[in-house]
Chains A and B, each alone.
Chain A
Amino acid sequence: MTADGARPLVRVRGLRKSFGAHRVLDGVDLDVAEGSVTVLLGPSGSGKSTLLRCVNHLERPDAGFVEVAGEVVGYRYHDGRLHELPAREITRQRTQVGMVFQQFNLFPHLTVLENLVEAPVAVRGVPKSEAAAKAGELLARVGLAGREGAYPRELSGGQQQRVAIARALAMEPRLLLFDEPTSALDPELVGEVLGVIRDLAVGGMTMIIVTHEIGFAREVADQAVFLDGGRIVESGAPSDVLDRPGNERARAFLSAVL
């Protein structure tokens, strides 16, 4: 990934996280190059989602660090200590990392347009008219042109997830995180969401995707990472990880889901 010598956009080192006695992340190292797509695979409970949520500090790691665009996420190094950043600084860091959730998490009391312009207007101070025009373009890009006035509940799951992607893109992030973006969808709606993500990959967006869609992973990923028990047990080119896994656990999992 770092063959060209450039510093990776995302660097994860020694990341550990426990919930009570349960160790969810047990020392994870990961690099994500700018413009590349990384898929995180693994059985449920293997720590994929927690790893993803550490990247924008929705979870606070117990040890180790995540670095995005050269900045340690959520902390400032000073005099041998990592001081947690004030809320405003964390908020600033999050503006360059977009996130798409399994359950969409659109704001149900706001229209599609209001969902899309909320953050650009409130956080980046974009004028309303400009944000609305941008929102229109983004909706067209995810195949939902003209649906500005709809409320989320009036849309299908696939449409809602595409709005959620457009909402994340509205902040012009350098990195997009997807937490099982198609797991809550009817099978017939999965394709339209994957199609949008595929377009983003072609467009050069840096993405980390937690997914169980193995075929999709093979197609779009530059790097596939297999987690088990909070550790990365297999990583590399998708063809290697998915088709010739060396790890016993990975082989069992992949043969079960394929």
Chain B
Amino acid sequence: MTDVTERIPLLSAPADDPIPADDQLLAARLVAPRRPGLWVSAALLLVLAAMLVHTLVTNKRFQWPIVRGYFFEHSILHGLELTIWLTAAVLVTGYLLGTAVAAARLSKNPILKSLGFGFVWLIRSVPMLVQLLFWYELASLYPRLSLGIPFGPEFATFKTAHLFGGILAAFVALSLDVAAFSAEIIRGGILAVPAGQVEAAQALGLGRGRIFRRIVLPQAMPAIVPASGNLLIGMLKATSIVSVIAVQDLLYSSQLIYNENFQIIPLLLVATLWYIVLTTVLSIGQYFVERRYARGTNRRGDGFGALFRRNLPLFGRGGLATGATGSGS
């Protein structure tokens, strides 16, 4: 060990490199491996980004002045508002229902279990557009809905044509869709919590509701949140499907305008930009919710700046020089 000359040189060591002495090794500076591929791909990415900006700016047919003119137009903002609250209402209703369905599927009660499975199977099998049209056209399938005893007397009757306007049909169809998909996300998250956690809570004498709220759900959240972010953002954009039943959401408001003035691309851009804005807000929200539920793990972030450093390391401090070697922090 102590005598340098006794060392057997490695087969791969270059012949002209003399075997270093221990003190040389101790004094040597550590150098990270070169990553030429990283630099080349970064350069390529920047060129592509520059090209994208260039074409956006120079191609007159994007008609940015018209985009700007319509961006805050009254009917567009009105459509935006409808898109936002429809999404919010659908998500709240869908997730409440979805949690119940997940609980039903995980319960020991055979009736609830079958009911939950059947609901998820049915809703996931029918395309969202078809569901939407079904609810919208419910009046032609069941002209009247009545409350009463099956095969017996009826107490109250509604005309479905009055009941299911476009917005309500959209709300019901989308909520059911979210419920089915969120139920599976929530169920997956719950199954990811080790059984020992529930046993420990049971052994302490905690009740079932308390175990679910306080022990299981918080530990299921890290698995639930990213998938839910996906579902949420997907749903935000999927609300644009309601334009087929003439609900004036963001997209349909744009369509109404370009049907009159034929400025198709600029108005689609207006809608697109608004969707990007909303999605960005939601993504930031997701980041902070994820951080909230990273309690007790080593994945805790630190403030707003981390949002950029972690997700876009290309532009962060250190960037290419250190970024690729791992998260480090």
Contact = CB atoms under 8 A, between A and B. Distances in A.
A155 to B, nearest CB: 11
Contacts of B200: 99, 101, 105-107, 164
A109 B203 contact: no
A196 B295 CA distance: 29
A109 B210 CA distance: 15
Contact of A108 (B206, B207, B219): B219
Given A108-B219, A151-B296, A152-B296, A123 B204 contact: yes
Contact of B204 (A103, A171, A177): A171
A74 to B, nearest CB: 12
B106 to A, nearest CB: 15
Interface in B160-219: 194, 196-197, 199-208, 210, 214-215, 218-219
A153 B296 contact: yes
A103 B210 CA distance: 22
Contact of A99 (B194, B203, B208, B297): B203
A58 B201 CA distance: 11
Interface in A81-115: 87-88, 91-92, 94-95, 97-99, 101, 103, 105-111
Given A108-B219, A118-B214, A58 B296 contact: no
Nearest to A90: B202
B125 interface: no
B199 A108 contact: no
B297 A153 contact: yes
Contacts, number: 77
Contact of A101 (B196, B206, B207, B219): B196
A58 B215 contact: no
Contacts of A111: 296
A122 interface: yes
Contacts of B197: 105, 107
A231 B208 CA distance: 33
Contacts of B206: 91, 118-119, 122-123
B59 interface: no
A94 B215 CA distance: 17
Interface string B209-253: 010001100110000000000000000000000000000000000
Contacts of A118: 204, 206, 214
Interface string B73-98: 00000000000000000000000000
18 contacts: A58-B203, A87-B208, A94-B202, A94-B203, A95-B205, A98-B203, A101-B196, A105-B194, A105-B199, A122-B206, A122-B207, A122-B214, A151-B296, A153-B296, A153-B298, A164-B200, A167-B204, A171-B205
Query: Which 5 A-B pairs rank lowest in CB-CB distance, beginning with the nearest?
Result: A95-B205, A105-B200, A99-B203, A119-B204, A105-B196
Interface of B: 194, 196-197, 199-208, 210, 214-215, 218-219, 293, 295-298
Interface of A: 56, 58, 87-88, 91-92, 94-95, 97-99, 101, 103, 105-111, 118-119, 122-123, 151-153, 164, 167-168, 171, 177
